[in-house]
Structure 1
Amino acid sequence: MVNSESNGKVALVTGANKGLGFEMSRQLAQQGLTVIIAARKLEAAVAAATKLKNEGLKAEAILLDINDSIQIQSAVQEIKNRFGKLDVLINNAGVMLDGEWAISNASSVSVDMIRKTFDTNFFALVEVTQAMLPLILKSQSGRIVNMASIEGSLTLHADPSSFIYDSKPFAYDASKAAVNSFTVHLAHELRNTPVKVNSAHPGWVKTELGGDGAMMDITEGAKTGVQLATLPDDGASGGFFHLGQPVPW
């Protein structure tokens, strides 16, 4: 059921004009949050926000290419001016450039591809988070959700009995392992604040990234990120989760 009354909380979701980002935005807005739809093209963000508004939800649009430092700072200033704080940041925007999931390409993947993957999946994520953190610290219950992947689990990659054992697109996997490291380190740094920082594995979801063979629909895939974005005050921090269950590092 849609909550028609705003609970006063504001969420920013990157890469939110489609797929998981859009559905997480919808589910957060259904819980009463005002959701800021961030996208690389303003018209795409506006179109997505308009869809949610037409459903009676509170949504705004913002231009944010996470690889653009100037746009990051502009977004911080716009959110500060309009809302004065940020309660939720979901770092959803990401790329998978290796091409195929069922490959092992550590010996052949180009350094340029690794750099491009890390630029978006890791370095931009860190930059956005650091830039937004002063606003998140103004929240009474700040939540940072880093959309990682089970492909970033070193434990499962090293286990021959794991279902991801033969899926080793190195650039993507390494970038998500780095995201998990950032989650652990930032959560430790913020352990004495109300802010909680967690990594999410959404599942193998039917999106452009997941492909048609994926096993989960987008509605189900969005649930983990939304759960971590709305954790209670005694919720976990510094963890890696899928639908409430821990994922091994």
Structure 2
Amino acid sequence: MKAEIVILFPAIDLKDGLAVRLEQGDMARATVFNRDPADQAYAFELAGFEYLHIVDLDGAFAGKPVNGRAVDRILEATNIRVQLGGGIRDMATVEGWLDKGVNRVIIGTAAVRDPALVREAASAFPGRVAVGLDARDGRVAVQGWAEASELTALEIAKRFEDAGVAAIIYTDISRDGMLKGINWDATIALADTISIPVIASGGLASIEDVRTLLMPQSVKLEGAIAGRALYDGRLNAAEALALIRAAKAA
């Protein structure tokens, strides 16, 4: 059976306090879609979204939160549930964001370099810690995608099978921001091999990707992240959310 809850997460990527989208994770290829991220988050809430995916891009490179004020304003302006990644490398940062009202933190680089942090955080905050695995040519990239590791997404995900991690967010960097469609083959293969729910990310292009998310072969996926397709109108939010509601009702 299909999982009861299928979530479409609209994405807000923060760079210099602005809501942007990158192409293939390249900071030099950023398009500004809204100069007020809180306004963008509120628009997503009004559209009917119940969850929001936020990445502090500057924080991912710096190794610590950089766009904290923008996140604070989003939390103040909306009642939407937030999952947040970027620059979360220690327990103090995990605790700080959760105390502020972030529902779930995403640990990326530290999941490769400091797996003990993931275990500690997931144990201390059950259901509120996800792992972000961003792959380029099969290998997980870290430090804002600027550096490649020698490990595959599956190798890292298996480290946390018994750690209580809420979800794995799997991104195909080559497709991110390119509107070429999600790499369903790799994403579903990962989900079918591990026990942790997987969220698909990178390249969602149209309503067809949402339909794929709702098909039987995607049963182990918690949801998918939508970015540029929502911003430029290729994906109609009302149509996508109606499709998900209909599938849940059925």
- Give the TM-score category using the shorter length: 0.3 to 0.5
Scaled by the length of structure 2, the TM-score of the pair is 0.38
Scaled by the length of structure 1, the TM-score of the pair is 0.38
* Structure number with larger C-alpha Rg: 1
Greater fraction of residues in strand: 2
